[in-house]
A and B are shown apart, each in its own frame.
Chain A
Amino acid sequence: MPWMLPTILKNFFGGPATRLYPVEVREPFEHARGQVSFNEDKCTLCGTCVRRCPAEAISMDKEKNELTFYPARCIVCEVCVDICPRKAIDLIYKWRSPFYAKPVEVYKPRGKASNKAEKEVAATHEPALNN
Chain B
Amino acid sequence: MVEVTEKLWPVEVPPRVKYLRTIWAEMSRTHSHLLWLGLLADAFGFESMFLQFWRIRERVLDLLEMTTGQRVIQSVNIIGGVRRDISPEQKKICIDTLNTVRKESESLIKVLTNDYTVKSRTIGKGVLTKEQALQLGCAGPTLRGSGVREDARLTKYDAYGELNYEPVVEEAGDSYARALVRAKETLQAIDLQLEALAKLPDGEIAVRVRGNPPANEAVMRTEAPRGELFYYAKGNGTRNLERLKVRTPTFANLPSLLVMLPGCELADVPVIVLSIDPCISCTER
Contact = CB atoms under 8 A, between A and B. Distances in A.
Interface of A: 1, 3-4, 6-7, 17, 29, 31-33, 75-78
Contacts of B108: 7
Contact of B65 (A4, A32, A77): A32
A3 B73 contact: no
Given A3-B110, A7-B108, A78-B75, 13 more contacts: A1-B111, A1-B115, A3-B111, A29-B66, A29-B69, A31-B67, A32-B69, A33-B69, A33-B70, A33-B75, A75-B73, A76-B70, A76-B75
29 contacts: A1-B111, A1-B115, A3-B107, A3-B110, A3-B111, A3-B114, A4-B111, A6-B107, A7-B52, A7-B107, A7-B108, A7-B111, A17-B58, A29-B65, A29-B66, A29-B69, A31-B66, A31-B69, A31-B84, A32-B65, A32-B69, A33-B69, A33-B70, A33-B75, A76-B70, A76-B75, A77-B75, A78-B69, A78-B75
Contacts of A32: 65-66, 69-70
A48 to B, nearest CB: 13
Across the A-B interface, the 7 shortest Cβ-Cβ residue pairs = A33-B69, A77-B75, A3-B111, A29-B66, A4-B111, A17-B55, A3-B110
B75 A75 contact: yes
B92 to A, nearest CB: 15
Interface of A is mostly: loop
B149 interface: no
B97 to A, nearest CB: 13
A75 B69 CA distance: 12
Contacts of A29: 62, 65-66, 69
A120 B147 CA distance: 74
A77 B75 CA distance: 6
A113 to B, nearest CB: 31
Interface in B66-119: 66-67, 69-70, 73, 75, 83-84, 107-108, 110-111, 114-115
A76 B72 CA distance: 12
Residue in A17, A29, A76 whose Cβ sees the most chain B Cβ within 10 Å: A29
Nearest to B67: A31
Contact of A78 (B66, B83, B107): B83
A33 B76 CA distance: 11
A13 to B, nearest CB: 15
